[in-house]
Structure 1
Amino acid sequence: MYKVAVTGIGAISVLGSTLLEISDSLKNGRSGIVIDNTRAKLGFESPLTGKIKDFDPKDWLGRKQRKTMPDYAVQAYAASRQALDQSGLSERDLQSDETGLIFGCDSSCIAALEQVDLLKKRGETALIGSGAVFRSMTSCITMNLNALFKTRGAAWTISSACSSGGHAVGQAFNLIASGQQERVICGGAQEINWQSMCSFDGLGAFSSNIAHPAQASRPFDEKRDGLVPSGGAAAIVLERYELAEARGADILGTIAGYGFSSDGGHISVPGKNGLARAGAKAIKQADLSVADIDYICAHATATPAGDAAEIENIRTLFKGSNPNISSTKSMTGHELWMSGASQVVYTVLMNMGGFTAPNINFAAGSDETKGLKIIPETVYEPPRNALLNSAGFGGTNSCLILKF
């Protein structure tokens, strides 16, 4: 197997639209969660949402290019452009059979609704416009980025609920480690709009802490009452280590292991050992032991059942070992399809900045969290060997090992 390096990262996040802004938010425990008044007027049980500020699609792409791209696809382009600029890869490197694209995304709600509205308004399908076809496809991101970057290797989208971004990074890692690609741009994206969240809101899974938006997402806390929907885009450039080293790239870390599993149980209730099985695979592939892991970037979304299940999985896997644990979703909310990829970006930023991000809003644990090192404040030591947990509806689990 080839060693796999991280040489570039990028994100358009509710924590910021530049890596510097995002790192500062992570370090200082700054939330990106707000109240959306439109949701309140429409009758949402929870009007809470993550919000991206200071991002204008027109700053990144022209009108013709944006014709086939919803906002989240443009955000994926912007995050990828950031990552590529940092990586130092040339146009020749990109336009190669050895360069691939893999993103995680599991819906394109707004684009599908827009084309139906256009038909009703214009009364003729021919007047909907050609761009709508591409905007409404789940593979919208990779098909557009493939045309924009002119890559010639792998180009597909992984759809696996809230583990989509994690599996996209994991599969990119596997393609490079096995020698099938020399480099892959990978990541995840999630649209932020009320249309994509109205049915989810109806399930009663969202936090109702409307009075204090920044305190609404409370992973692992005994008073957690649900998740806050969020989104954006995250991108990572992965390369065969020896090739990155040979061209003098700044190597930010390595993806050393990828484990996956499925619960084989309930469609929406997380299993008691799925994440543990995936984590064990990832740690073994990375040639580490549980004692070597010093940080867990948890999936924890602040739902009572989901966090409890992850705690049980962590206890099962980490018997006799007790690493730092935090969920960046305490600040971002749940970024859904993006989240597994953004965890990579956020953890790399922690290492670069010399800190480990806090699990804000963790005021008091319960019996289930007793003895675990859930960190409510920033720890001014960087992660060295990190396990990144990601899970989704249908019982799909992804675990990544980042080594620095």
Structure 2
Amino acid sequence: MHRVAITGIGIVSCLGQDAVAVGEALRQGRSGIVVDEERVRLGFRSPLTGAIRGFDPAAVLSKKQRKTMPDFAIQAYAAARDALAMSRLEDEEIQNENTGMIFGCDSSCIAAIEQVDIMREKGESKQIGSGLVFRSMTSCITMNLNTLFHTRGACWTISSACSSGGHAVGQAADLIAMGRQERVICGGAQEINWESMCSFDALNAFSIRTDAPQAASRPFDADRDGLVPSGGAAALVLERYDLAKARGAAILGEVCGYGFSSDGNNLSVPSVDGLQRAMSKAIEGAGRKPADIDYLCAHATSTPAGDAAEADNIVAVFGSRTPWISSLKSMTGHELWMSGASQVVYSTIMAQQGFIAPNVNFTTPDESSARLRIVTEAIPRAPEHVLCNSAGFGGTNSCLVLRFSE
């Protein structure tokens, strides 16, 4: 089995669009959550959302290239472009059958709405045009990025709700570890528009703390009242470790364990053991013990049931002495399909910049979170062994162990 190196990262999120800006926001505990006035006007129960500022699709790709890509696919391209630039791979090292492309994404809502609106307004299908058929497919990210970067290896999208991005990174690492690919561009993306969120809003799952948007996402806090939706794109370049070393690449970290499980129980309520089975498999697969993990990047989305279930699962694995824990969704909101991948990017940024980010808005523990070591202020040291948790509707769980020291 080959070791798997991280040699490039890219991010487009409500915290920023490069590692420096995002690192500064994470260290300072600065939130990217706002009230969306359009959602207020439309009658959303919760108009809260993460907001991506200053991203101009026209500055990233031509009009012709953007024809088949919704905004989140363009953001995925921008994140992947930046990750590849950081990796310093040459074109010939990317454009071959040994380089793959795997992203996590579980919907492409806006394009489906656009084509139906055109059909109803114009009364004939020929007005829809050719681009929307590609924009409306869940696999629109990988099909477009594969074409733009000219990779010729693995190319598919993983759809597993909010664990999609985590599974994409894990499967990419597995393909490299097994020798089936030498490198994989991987990650996750989530559309941030209101159209994709109105059905979630109807579930009463969102926070309604609109008087203080930046305090609305409160993972593990006793006073949490729901999640805040967000989105964007996160990308990584994973490579066979020996090949990356041989070409003189800067090794940012290593994906050394991947565990997965499913609850087999309930569509929306996490089980008492699903996530702990995935965590244990990831740690065992990395050749580590629970005590070796010094930071856990939690999935916790700020929902009452979900956070409590994760806390109980964490204690089942680590006992009374847990690692330092924070949910970065306290700042980003819940990035849904991209969140498992963005946690890997955020953790890599922390390791590179020498700190562990806080779980902001955590003031009062509840019965479950009182047993966790929650990071309330940035810790001025780099994490060495990180466990990233992600979980999704239907009880699908993904856990990754990252190593940032030899």
TM-score, normalization by structure 2:
0.99
Whether the aligned pair in 2 keeps the contact of 1:165 and 1:341 (CA below 8 Å) is yes
CA deviations 1:91-119 (Å, max 9, x no partner) are 00110100000000000000000011111
Structure-2 separation of matches of 1:271 and 1:32: 30
Match of 1:173 in 2: 173
1:4-403 alignment, distance < 5 Å: 4-403=4-403
Q: Kindly provide the CA deviation profile for residues 240-289 of structure 1, in whole angstroms up to 9, marking residues without a partner as x.
A: 00000000000000000000000010000011111100010000010000
Separation of aligned partners in 2, 1:303 and 1:320: 23
Segments of 4+ moved more than 4 angstroms: none
The one-letter amino acid of 2:3's match is: K
- The runs of 5 or more residues in structure 1 that have no matched partner are none
What letter is aligned with 1:63? K
Instruction: Give the secondary structure class of the aligned counterpart of 2:194.
Output: coil
The answer to whether the Cα contact below 8 Å between 1:68 and 1:131 also exists between their aligned partners in 2 is yes
Residues 31-62 of structure 1, C-alpha deviation per residue, up to 9 Å, x if partnerless?
Answer: 00000011111111100000000100011100
CA distance in structure 2 between the partners assigned to 1:385 and 1:104 by the alignment: 24
Contact 1:290–1:321 under 8 Å retained in 2: no
CA contact (8 A) 1:225 1:304 kept: yes
Given the two structures, how large is their TM-score scaled by the length of structure 1?
0.99
Partner amino acid, structure 2, of 1:83: A
Paired residue secondary structure (2:368): helix
SS in 2 for 1:256: strand
The answer (yes or no) to whether the contact 1:13–1:232 under 8 Å persists in 2 is yes
Question: 2:315 touches 2:371 (CA, 8 Å); kept in 1?
Answer: no
Unaligned runs of 5+ in 2: none
Q: Deviations over 1:195-216 (max 9, x none)?
A: 1000100100000100000000
Matched AA of 2:373:
K
Contact 1:166 1:390 in 2 (8 A): yes
Distance 2:301 2:325 in 1: 13
Structure 1 residue 82: deviation in Å?
Answer: 0.5
Please tell me the residue identity of whatever aligns with 2:117: D
Task: Give me the whole-angstrom Cα distance separating, in 2, the residues matched to 1:87 and 1:46.
Answer: 40
- C-alpha displacement of 1:320: 4.8
Displacement, 1:311?
Answer: 0.3
Deviation (angstroms), 1:403: 0.3
CA contact (8 A) 1:105 1:165 kept: yes
User: Aligned AA for 1:91?
Assistant: D
Superposition deviation, residue 171 in structure 1: 0.2
Q: How far 1:122 sits from its partner (Å)?
A: 2.1
Q: Which amino acid is 2:230 matched to? A: S
Q: Distance in 1 between matches of 2:269 and 2:91?
A: 45
Q: Report the residue type matching 2:194 in the other structure.
A: W
Provide the secondary structure at the position in 1 that maps to 2:83.
helix
8 Å contact from structure 1 (residues 280, 317) kept in 2: yes
Q: Distance in 2 between matches of 1:151 and 1:113?
A: 30
User: Deviations along 1:107-155, whole A, 9 cap, x unmatched?
Assistant: 0000000011111222211111000000000000000001000000000
Quick one: distance in 2 between partners of 1:370 and 1:136?
A: 44
The answer on whether the counterparts of 1:108 and 1:136 sit within 8 Å (CA) in structure 2 is yes
SS at match of 1:382: coil
Structure 1 residue 367: Cα displacement: 2.1
| Count of residue correspondences | 404
Note the aligned Cα RMSD (angstroms): 0.6
Equivalent position SS for 2:388? strand
Aligned partners of 2:266, 2:367: CA distance in 1, in Å?
25
CA contact (8 A) 2:27 2:358 kept: yes
Partner AA of 2:383 in structure 1: P
Give me the whole-angstrom Cα distance separating, in 2, the residues matched to 1:122 and 1:297: 48
Which amino acid in 2 is paired with 1:323?
Answer: P
Q: Secondary structure at the match of 1:236?
A: strand
Per-residue deviation, 1:19 = 1.4
1:250 aligned counterpart, secondary structure: coil
Cα distance in structure 1, aligned partners of 2:215 and 2:376: 13
Distance 1:320 1:38 in 2: 46
**Which amino acid counterpart does residue 170 of structure 2 have in structure 1?**
G
